[in-house]
Chains A and B, each alone.
Chain A
Amino acid sequence: MIGFLTGPMLMISLAIFFGGLAYRAVMYVRGLSWQLDRVAYKPHFTHGLKGALHSIRRWMIPGGTYGWRTQPFMAAAFFLFHIGAVLVPLFLLGHQVLLKQLLGFSLPTLPSLAADVLTVVAIIGGVMLALRRIALTEVRILTTPYDWFILAVSVAPFVTGFIARMHWGNYDFWIIAHILTGELLLIIAPFTKLSHIVLFFMSRGQLGMDYSIKRGGMKRNYAFPW
């Protein structure tokens, strides 16, 4: 069972994940239209690219934007969750062992203490995101069962992985639960809101381009104050 899940099934999951997200990114760009979007992407591409990168960069820095600064709780929840969510799956020792077995290469690995801390931090971030959904009326009105599903799918691999790692309860059960939830996440990512893993960069960058090309970037002589 574990052999299949960490072998062919993992390969399939990764293929869907990377292939699907790459497809989403390509389709996003192909679906842009200078006339409908009213942004002259091509004639001012270099200038637009600068705006795109600036916008993405600012939003990836805690406190880098007015948005993050005005909402520190959301900023904390967001960064706690996303830092773990990006680093742990990529650089966990166990994942790299698997990767080496599957594809014959591996990435650098995180020290196990760091990985443990980041996992807990991600779970805390996830819980904070959930608390916001419950506590704030402006978030509650937007929240649908789908949002809860996405949040659950995103946090589940961390919770199950951490329980397995701590050897709480039945290790085999939790490790299989971890692999299944992890692969579920990989498989559904391109088809759900989780596609924001790549589409964030497209959309954020695109608005950065919009502001940089059309909405005053050329007049401003300094980067737009996100």
Chain B
Amino acid sequence: MPEGTFCNKQPINTEEDLKSLLGDKGGAQYYEEMKHLDVDVPALAATLEKTCKARIRTWLEICAHCGMCADSCFLYRVSERDPKQVPAYKIQSTLGVIVKNKGNVSNEFMRHCVDVAWSQCTCCNRCGMYCPHGIDMGVMFSYLRGLLFSQGFVPWEMKIGSGMHRVYNAQMDVTEEDWVDTCEWMADEYGEEWPGLEIPVDKEDADIMYTLNAREPKHYPEDLAEAAILFHIAGENWTVPSTGWEQTSLAMFAGDWAACKKQVETVYSAIERLRPKRVVGTECGHAHRATVIEGPYWAGREDGLPPAPYIHYVEWLAEALRTGKIKIDPSKKIKEPVTLQDSCNYIRNHGLSNITREIMSYIAEDFREMAPNREHNYCCGGGGGFNGIGKYRHQRNEALKTKRDQILDTGCKLVVAPCHNCWDAIRDLEEEFEIGIRWTFLKPLILKMAIIPDHLKLQEDEDE
């Protein structure tokens, strides 16, 4: 059977297709169909010819097979040093074979590649730092995912994820109407407590345009309210766009480059439409990577930069604390030992390690580093889409052990995790291993500690 009803080479482009794919619970039929999906060898060969250039070909060729990457990979370490988890082996035995055979590989081999690409690499890019030749397996796995996606070999949830972006321009089914309603609802809901609180939609020429992760309006809209309150306290002139507010890209995890381009262009056109001085993204790692680090390339921006300065939430927050826009009540600083999760996507991949530590210096009395940390930190265990793929839940749970042990070693019970993915992984590791920890984004923490300027207080407060 060349193409299945659910598992085929066509990406999801309509709501109807998306709903019917969602109806295939757990992808049971989808994975069954994948067993019979034909590999379009000429198409794969043509894609390789067109897209596999000097960098990846050289990497595959000159890999010295020295194994220095082995220990750099947390998945190798948690799998009892299974040699099949050595990064160089993982990529040579998948992408390496596809390139060597010019795409002439079997269905079974492609399914093997799916397993390796989505359950044995989170594209954390740590191995690249430990390879003498500067070979970055994370980059190559991302490329491999693109090849697999183009042939219809992609985990069920990833196909859904990229379909969501294609249909809704968001990783979840949050429509523009839902989104704007959520903004109004949150402004109303919290406006009683915070007089004058606004969530201005489509305000032109604001100082800040705020973008976020669709999960926030969908599942925890209070995160949007918290962001609004903190901008309110800081006295920022800010806005959110009605379209182009979704900053994430599950399509990036899926390897659906066309959807990545489409998604990021909605954000960039919002920037061009509203002309903010700069853009602030929420506490999310992959969203930042998708829209700020990789996005410019998908959108064909030659300078590699978004249309306006685009910063991560931690950068805005550090600045607000540094300049006194937000002041912390010293008596409310975190007294207990607290540690910090370094998200691969904006620490290793965007150099923000000092910024997060600056924030910790303002808010914590006993900040403790994980080891290793900063650019050398390990993936939370759920990166690159790993968190969301049911088929690989067991492997994902094993992968959480690295972070569990790193946290346990700090002796802290509180973990600050300014990234949705890391936040989820840490929540799941507590559920899985019950080590008695708590985890938090920065927004609710800061809200509890911030000194509220008198003019923003409720009238009743002043009367008291």
Which residues on A are within 8 Å of B, measured CB to CB? 27-40, 42-44, 55, 59, 66-67, 70-71, 74, 78, 132, 136-144, 147, 193, 195-196, 199-200, 202-208, 210, 213-221, 224-226
Contacts and interface: CB of A to CB of B under 8 A. Distances in A.
14 contacts: A28-B54, A28-B58, A31-B55, A34-B304, A141-B83, A142-B92, A147-B64, A195-B61, A195-B62, A196-B133, A199-B58, A200-B132, A215-B349, A219-B350
A196 B65 CA distance: 13
Interface string B16-57: 000000000000000000000000000000000001011101
B376 interface: yes
Interface in B310-367: 347-355
A23 to B, nearest CB: 13
Interface of B: 51, 53-55, 57-59, 61-68, 70-72, 76, 81, 83-84, 86, 88-89, 92, 125, 128-136, 293-294, 296-297, 300, 302-305, 347-355, 374-376
B302 A220 contact: no
A15 B16 CA distance: 64
Given A59-B132, A71-B68, A143-B65, A31 B375 contact: no
Contacts of A67: 68, 72, 129-132
Given A193-B62, A225-B374, A34 B68 contact: no
A30 B303 contact: no
Contact of B54 (A32, A144, A220): A32
Contacts of B83: 137-138, 140-141
A141 B86 contact: yes
A8 to B, nearest CB: 30
Contacts of A215: 125, 293, 348-351
Given A74-B66, A138-B81, A36 B51 contact: yes
A219 B293 CA distance: 12
A203 B297 contact: no
Nearest to A139: B67
A171 to B, nearest CB: 34
Contacts of B353: 220
Nearest to A226: B129
Contacts of A32: 53-55
Contacts, number: 158
Interface centre among B294, B305, B347, B375, by most chain A C-beta atoms within 10 angstroms, is B375
Contacts of B58: 28, 31, 199, 202-203
B304 A43 contact: yes
Contacts of B54: 27-33
List the 10 closest pairs (A to B, CB-CB), nearest first.
Answer: A216-B351, A31-B54, A40-B304, A207-B134, A220-B351, A141-B83, A139-B67, A142-B65, A219-B351, A138-B70
A47 to B, nearest CB: 11
Nearest to A220: B351
A208 B134 contact: yes
B139 to A, nearest CB: 8
A217 B62 contact: no
A207 B53 CA distance: 15
Contact of B302 (A43, A137, A193): A43
B376 A206 contact: no
Given A38-B304, A138-B71, A203-B135, 19 more contacts: A34-B297, A36-B51, A37-B53, A37-B55, A66-B130, A67-B68, A70-B130, A138-B81, A138-B86, A141-B83, A142-B86, A142-B89, A143-B65, A196-B133, A203-B133, A214-B293, A216-B352, A219-B351, A225-B374
Contacts of B53: 31-33, 36-37
A33 to B, nearest CB: 5
A147 B65 contact: yes
A58 B86 CA distance: 24
Contact of A44 (B76, B81, B304, B375): B304
A67 to B, nearest CB: 4
Nearest to B88: A142
A162 B45 CA distance: 48
A85 B305 CA distance: 43
Residue in A43, A144, A207, A226 with the greatest tally of chain B CB atoms within 10 Å: A207
A64 B381 CA distance: 28
B394 to A, nearest CB: 23
Contacts of A132: 66-67
Contacts of B351: 215-220, 224
Contacts of B88: 142
A199 B354 CA distance: 33
Contacts of B64: 147, 193, 196
A39 B55 CA distance: 11
Given A38-B294, A203-B135, A66 B376 contact: yes
A39 B68 contact: no
A219 B348 CA distance: 11
Nearest to B59: A203
A213 B349 CA distance: 11
Contacts of A141: 83-84, 86, 89
A198 to B, nearest CB: 10
A92 B78 CA distance: 48
Contact of A224 (B59, B63, B131, B375): B375
Contacts of A217: 351
Given A138-B81, A141-B89, A203 B349 contact: no
A66 B51 contact: no
A63 to B, nearest CB: 13
A132 to B, nearest CB: 8
Contacts of B129: 66-67, 226
